Homo-oligomer: A and B are copies of this chain.
Amino acid sequence: MMARTAVELSPRSIEREAAGRRRPLARVSRRAKSPSPDSGVRRLGIADLGSNTARLIVFSYEPGRWYRITDGIREPIRLGEGLSRGQTLAPAALKRAAAAIELFVDYARTSGLDGLEILGTSAIRDAVNRDELLERIDRLGQRIRVVSGEEEAALGVAAVANGFRYEDAWVIDLGGGSAQVSRMRERRYDHGTAHPLGALRLSERFLRSDPPKRSEIRALESTVEEELGELIARLDGSLPVVAIGGTVRNLARMSQKAVGYPLQVLHGYRLSREALEDVTAQLLAVKLKKRRRIPGINSDRADIITAGALVFRWLMRRSGLRHLVISGHGVREGAFYRHFLPAPYVLPDVRGFSIENRAARHPLPPGHAEHVRFLADRLFDGLAPLHQLTARNRELLDAAATLHDIGTTLDYYRHHKHGSYLLTISPLNGFCHRELALIALLVRYHRRGNPRLGEYGSLTEPGDRRRLRQLSACLRIAESLERARASRIKDLRVTIKRKRVRITVQAAEQPMIEIWEASKHANLFRRAFDRKLDIEADVSVRRL
């Protein structure tokens, strides 16, 4: 079966386009409020004018070093309204879109953004009267970049390449007007297709009753089948399927709220087939007024979300996929990386960057976290014969060591709990949620307490309790050996015996407080490694 209206996307044209496009930002006037140019901090607004929503995100960043989102404006514009019946943007929709752009431009100019890039997607590219809108925007002194389906797909892939650790994946970006299905190969856009399967478009075309009738659902599904039927055999679970867009974010949030998910993080969430069946059934069971009130759903999306849910449900049912991986990042983030990074716009180390980016957000006196990380690694390596954990676990330990004290920026008292909180409210890109929970727990237990999986138990795997205990023991002893935060202990050796483990620390002088503090954790060590702990100092190291 051929995809009826799919647009085939080829990689070459993308590269050509990218090469010719060097920061096509509209100039906006600088205001005294903006950071001085030599501070190196830039503030860039990236907006997209979708079929359902216009949304602006402000990125503050130093190129290549760190970034964070510092503002955002979201306006439901329903630009694609009526597009399922013809190819013309409705006058009211056009007016709403122009008003949103005017707001964005006003905001950008007044707040002193260094640049404002506005992307136009499916609704605009499909409309025969799109020039009417573009001219109105031109009159505001702003340009809008109408991206092809191919470029939109590639921007989604860029977001995934920089937001996950995957080398290869399928990426499905379902918007209000269209859905892009792309193949990422070695972290680059390889090929893809664009389909007229956006939530607003399908909703208008098929779901005229509230709640939808069975016949309407069947008609929708048979269109999805026509469009995506060919793809199904390739979604065989051998590669992750990453889902992008407001629709799937809402579905994921609904599912998280329904089960009391223990992390406040969407990015990286695995939406299982069962969970998707549940939320879709819930959406189909009620009328719009009740749908608006379902926790996790934006009320201005409640009328069209069912159509999007039906697309994903069909996909899961037909392919036998076990779960979708939700991306919190999409075309806007994909576009941002073209400003943040040099070509080819791919972070060399997603996990490493994500940890450093988080550490930059919570600045601490230098040296301590790095040294704790060094000592924790030395313990991990020295104890390898006992724990036999893979290098992947060492990465968790490294992340926790680097971030263990970020909670002190909130309050010194209970800073282990604050640090743990910080890790459960935002993603660490490249780590799955199970890993994120383990890192949060390592931070939680870096000073005291008996390490337990607790509320994160539902995210973990067999063996994680032991893993947590062993990594906690490494981190806590490393932290203790850095008690005076002055790198007094230069190195350490681990000697494993049948019933005991000896840690010999090297220093230029007797490290009194470090050994006193580390010795307190002999009990945790025994529970973790089933050995008694001896700590001794080798003070033969000469002071330089």
A interface, CB within 8 angstroms of B:
31, 33, 35, 68-73, 102-103, 106-107, 110-112, 264, 361-362, 365, 367, 408-414, 418, 421-422, 425-426, 483-488, 512-513, 516
Write 6 A-B pairs (CB below 8 A) sorted by A numbering.
A33-B487, A69-B413, A110-B488, A112-B486, A410-B425, A410-B426
Known interface pairs A107-B513, A421-B421; A367-B33 also in contact (CB < 8 Å): yes
A68 to B411, CA, bound (A): 8
> In angstroms, how far is the closest chain B Cβ from the Cβ of A305?
20
Closest chain B residue to A75, Cβ basis: B516
Which interface residue of A33, A71, A103, A409 has the most chain B CB atoms within 10 A? A33
- A33 — which chain B residues lie within 8 A by C-beta? 365, 367, 485-487
- A69 — which chain B residues lie within 8 A by C-beta? 412-413
- A264 — which chain B residues lie within 8 A by C-beta? 414
Closest chain B residue to A32, Cβ basis: B486
Closest chain B residue to A406, Cβ basis: B410
- A412 touching B71, Cβ below 8 Å: yes
Known interface pairs A512-B102, A513-B106; A422-B410 also in contact (CB < 8 Å): yes
- A426 touching B411, Cβ below 8 Å: yes
Which interface residue of A264, A422, A484 has the most chain B CB atoms within 10 A? A484
> In angstroms, how far is the closest chain B Cβ from the Cβ of A77?
13
The 6 closest A-B pairs by CB, nearest first: A110-B484, A111-B484, A106-B512, A69-B412, A411-B426, A107-B513
Closest chain B residue to A103, Cβ basis: B513
- B412 touching A512, Cβ below 8 Å: no
- A412 touching B68, Cβ below 8 Å: yes
A379 to B398, CA, bound (A): 50
- A413 — which chain B residues lie within 8 A by C-beta? 69, 426
Known interface pairs A512-B102, A513-B103; A110-B486 also in contact (CB < 8 Å): yes
- A411 — which chain B residues lie within 8 A by C-beta? 425-426
> In angstroms, how far is the closest chain B Cβ from the Cβ of A387?
29
Closest chain B residue to A512, Cβ basis: B106
A107 to B35, CA, bound (A): 40
> In angstroms, how far is the closest chain B Cβ from the Cβ of A389?
31
> In angstroms, how far is the closest chain B Cβ from the Cβ of A384?
30
Selected from B35, B107, B409, B486, the residue in CB contact (under 8 A) with A483 is B107
Closest chain B residue to A99, Cβ basis: B516
- A421 — which chain B residues lie within 8 A by C-beta? 421
A513 to B414, CA, bound (A): 41
A422 to B418, CA, bound (A): 9
- A70 — which chain B residues lie within 8 A by C-beta? 408, 412
- B516 touching A103, Cβ below 8 Å: yes
